[in-house]
Amino acid sequence: QVQLVEGGGGLVQPGGSLRLSCVASGRSPFNYVMAWFRQAPGKEREFVAAISGYGSRTLYGDSVKGRFTISRDNAKNTVYLQMNNLKVEDTAVYYCAADSALKDRGYAYWGQGTQVTVSS
């Protein structure tokens, strides 16, 4: 099992940047694929990005390619989501997730989420 705690959300203006973090604890968190999802009000949860256990492979959702970057620091058991050129439509609750495979759905473990609001 792994426990996930997100942080770094907040209010940012369009065009701005924000970095989210997710600290993992429990049994060998570096063995897990880590991912970010988001859910806006009234919408389904959307895959954002995922990274393999040692960071050699990444996967991105189409809506964030070229703007968001996922990375991890296994020494700190932390995964990051650097978000640049933010748009109003990026407003959502962002969730960290973990699983054994690099994929865009069906993750086993979830954090509680952090709110990101993009507004002028």
pLDDT tens digits, one per residue of 79-91: 999 999 999 999 9
What pLDDT, in 10s, does the model give residues 49-92?
999 998 999 999 999 999 999 999 999 999 999 999 999 999 99
- pLDDT value of residue 26: 81
Predicted local distance difference test score (pLDDT) of residue 50: 98
What mean pLDDT do residues 100-106 have? 95
Residue by residue, DSSP assigns 49-66 as EEE-TTSS-EEE-TTTTT
And the tokens for 40?
A: 């806006």
- Whole-number Å distance between alpha carbons of 89 and 74: 31
User: pLDDT tens for residues 3-21?
Assistant: 999 999 999 999 999 999 9
Distance (Å, whole) CA 17 – CA 20: 10
| Pairing assessment for the beta strands 92-99 and 114-118 based on DSSP bridges | antiparallel
